[in-house]
Homo-oligomer: A and B are copies of this chain.
Amino acid sequence: MDWASKNTTTAKVNGFTCKSNVTAEDFFFAGLANPGATNTTAGSIVTGANVEKIPGLNTLGVSLSRIDYAAGGLNPPHTHPRATEIVFVLEGELDVGFVTTANVLISRSIKKGEIFVFPKGLVHFQKNNGKSPAAVISAFNSQLPGTQSIGAALFAATPAVPDDVLTKSFRVGTKEVEKMKSKRFVKD
């Protein structure tokens, strides 16, 4: 939007307020400065810096995230429904990959200072196979890219995805599916 416009005092654009008296704080965020706590089930944590945190991003079509990984940590296979992602490695080394619509795995090991692209909407992941922590900055061409974690979406949804959908999709029995569901929490 036009930050100088007189007309935007109380308007909402994209469902977010369009402030008329912006200050530097509306374009600033300090929340990516420190590593997030990686003592999660997967050993990784994503910290977002999008329009929900930075009002000035509204209508501007870009955002960042920071991802921290414990040694052995994984950012499990997921998609971003509304954006392409580029990661820049801040620390450590990661094995990263995405799968094309032809089921070709495009993967590589990337280390500090290197970057890798995950095309819009495709399943991708990053794993820290090193012995020390790792971290990346991710850039997205959306102010709110959204994230869908495959494992959580299929095995920890509320209500649950029907067993017969999962057994047939993953070629396993109901017992295995029930076990996979039982091992998860919605907060993934």
Contacts and interface: CB of A to CB of B under 8 A. Distances in A.
A128 B52 CA distance: 29
A141 to B, nearest CB: 4
A34 B113 contact: yes
* Stoichiometry (number of copies): 6
Given A123-B153, A147-B101, A154-B99, A30 B114 contact: yes
Given A52-B6, A137-B88, A154-B150, A125 B165 contact: yes
Given A151-B169, A156-B103, A161-B97, A60 B7 contact: no
B121 A81 contact: yes
A3 to B, nearest CB: 5
Interface string A141-155: 110101111111111
